[in-house]
């Protein structure tokens, strides 16, 4: 069965520090998709990135970057030069293409607190 | 392009009462999903629709839960005979096709007295 593990429950950093959020997944499918979502204190889930299992290229978007490694079943998220506005709960999620299950399986989330 | 809209934002009810939530997806999104999120946890899948067809239901969705999406537009989630354990945030999401990013609404927070 599919599973997503975010072992870091809470991380606290000081502004301008770099921080990496870990995500490890389990799936039997060879075709699957990985996602990151941000949930700020206001509560809405905001989509950040989608990556399919055949694309292992790292991606950078501004201060955000993602490292996908199939060999270790990991999809880690790094925020460079963190800012107070980055404070939120971040969720990693998985959806499987082959089994036909289209719903997202979420990890339990990592709460990031960025102190000024 | 308006986002996913959910109503109400908050619902407080007594145990044993029935409640109904509404979700309006992003227009032209054919897939609509319901999730439940409890404090400190990630969202858990409940059910999803492709157009008006309900294609999958989670084991979490007991017989007291029912969802509809008439005409493939808005959706409703009804909980009958509410229990304390139903207290949670109920999230709706929509997407344009399978495995495309799901866009979430602000959720309906249900509190059972």
Question: Do the Cβ atoms of A103 and B58 come within 8 Å?
Answer: yes
Residue B48 pLDDT class (50, 70, 90 cuts): very high
**pLDDT averaged over chain B?**
93
Sign of CA dihedral A86, A24, A101, B54: negative
Which chain B residue's Cα is nearest to A100? Answer: B98
Q: Which residue in B43, B48, B56 is closest to A106 by CB distance?
A: B43
Residues in B closer than 8 angstroms to A43, CB to CB, are 89, 106-107
Give the DSSP letter string of B10-76.
Answer: EEEE-TT--EEEEEE--TT--EEEEEEE-TTS--EEEEEEETTEEEEE-TT--TTEEEE-GGGS-EE
DSSP 8-state assignment for residue A63:
T
Residues in B closer than 8 angstroms to A109, CB to CB, are 40-42
User: pLDDT tens, A64-104?
Assistant: 999 999 999 999 999 999 999 999 999 999 998 776 667 89
């Amino acid at each position: 069965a599919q599973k997503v593990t975010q072992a870091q429950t809470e991380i606290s950093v000081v502004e301008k520090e770099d921080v990496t959020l870990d995500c490890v997944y389990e799936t039997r499918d060879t075709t699957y998709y990985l996602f990151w979502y941000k949930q700020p204190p206001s509560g809405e889930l905001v989509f950040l990135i989608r990556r399919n299992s055949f694309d292992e290229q790292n991606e950078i978007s501004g201060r955000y970057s993602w490292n996908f490694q199939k060999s270790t079943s990991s999809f880690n998220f790094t925020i460079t030069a963190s800012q107070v506005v980055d404070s939120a709960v971040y969720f990693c999620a998985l959806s499987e293409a082959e089994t036909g299950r289209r719903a997202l399986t979420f990890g339990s989330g990592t709460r990031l607190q960025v102190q000024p | 392009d308006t986002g996913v809209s959910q109503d109400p934002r908050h619902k407080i009810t007594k145990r044993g009462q029935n409640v109904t939530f509404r979700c309006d997806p992003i227009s032209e999104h054919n897939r609509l999903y319901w999730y439940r999120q409890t404090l400190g946890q990630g969202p858990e899948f409940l059910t999803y629709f492709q157009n008006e067809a309900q294609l999958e239901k989670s084991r979490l969705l007991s017989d007291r839960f029912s969802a509809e999406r008439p005409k493939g537009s808005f959706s409703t989630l009804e909980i009958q005979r509410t229990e304390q354990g139903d207290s949670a945030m109920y999230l709706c999401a929509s997407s344009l096709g399978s495995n495309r990013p799901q866009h979430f609404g602000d959720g309906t927070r249900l509190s059972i007295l």
